[in-house]
Structure 1
């Protein structure tokens, strides 16, 4: 009889591409994942993983068994969803993926309220890129994802997923206190942004692409002087007078001394969503998580 926990470990290695990634997703130590797969190899008398450099790859037999494990885990999820729906109250584990500013500004309060109201629910959180997290939901890596999109980059949603809008996150231009924009009484227009030195997200991120495309549409090639993934780092650079930045409200916190936020017209908006698998839609934990996210959003908006 194959052990489901060991199959889950093998499937996680397949999904994440490494033992360390599987361990982080499952909440185990890397050695525990290795031991689980090792026991599975002994049970099946089959080599499932092979060393490749510093990492591991699944053998053909490992790939086949991981595919079977995916089907079995889907059946288990369906059974757990049915039981939880019959009980009518959230329970079990709920793993959520969220982009950085949501993980900081939205999820702590929402998850705290959720676990207070439903002590039988074990909530977990993983930080993830908003355009990668829907696929993580589809593959069963997480149960629910909080992600966002912009007008130029609609949210990619694989088949079999459902989503709900949590809210709209508006953005402002943050400038040094002695910058000419700081004393403006009227909102900035995109045409005003020509010739500025920008502090922005790294290339390849949704926020970076939005900034570049928006300014180019306005007829300006942006000068991207500094790239930093964390908005706190961007604001620190702004405070030192090194450039200006487009910063969303969610997760921003109080502005540091020497930084002024100036509105832009039209207002840049990120739409924030919750995404989950359609087959888990009846699960009370999903419904309550979406409710908690919307309630927390109303409190901080």
Structure 2
């Protein structure tokens, strides 16, 4: 009888030990899971008032652009995420000397910033490289020495932006030189679409104006002069002569003073002219074949 009691007690002790061990394993599992949850990175909350679009520092504005308005890769920035870093647009690099080089850099930076802004969402985004970080180191030291008379690291982002913005101010307005350069402007007729012909003519026109840094000034104050440049560059000669006649009519007066309506008008008339020209050629070819 005593032996049976001992066996029962031993079995009871083993059961309690197994239950205690099982409870210990469960407790350790729960603790490990809790530690994993605590250490897991949580998504960075975004402020309801967060501006998702990075402003273009080279766009004219009434308020000056400061360092704080531009999201950058600076370590002091917070609440910013980098997504798909290997596929991010690459910023332009400035290592040139002339004012035209500065204007070209601003255009490339604007293109880069447009691509970066396309990645800004409510849940994530990409940093924009600040303007000052896009300057090659030797060029930066030279500009800092001769333009600012200080060390490169003491120049603020706003000062770098101002350095490039100076290139947008024409140093000398000489329309006599522009008139001479525009004499070489000529519409290319290699394309079968009127839109292609006009777009290439407009691009060639702006290329000449850009050489003199007068694109914005000319469009603001000299639209009549620009229309004259475009009208003189039209081709073929028969189409150019027809447009010259139409521009003498009072009903077409507005086209002589406004560039955009003139270009739209030219595209429409050119489409009609090209349709008539193709029909005339087909008729002439058919007449020669019948003979």
Quick check: TM above 0.5?
no
Higher normalized helix content (fraction of residues): 2
Q: Which structure ranks higher in relative contact order (CA pairs < 8 Å, sequence separation ≥ 6)?
A: 1
Tell me which interval the TM-score lies in, with the shorter structure as reference length: under 0.3
Using the size of structure 1 for normalisation, the TM-score is: 0.25
Higher normalized strand content (fraction of residues): 1
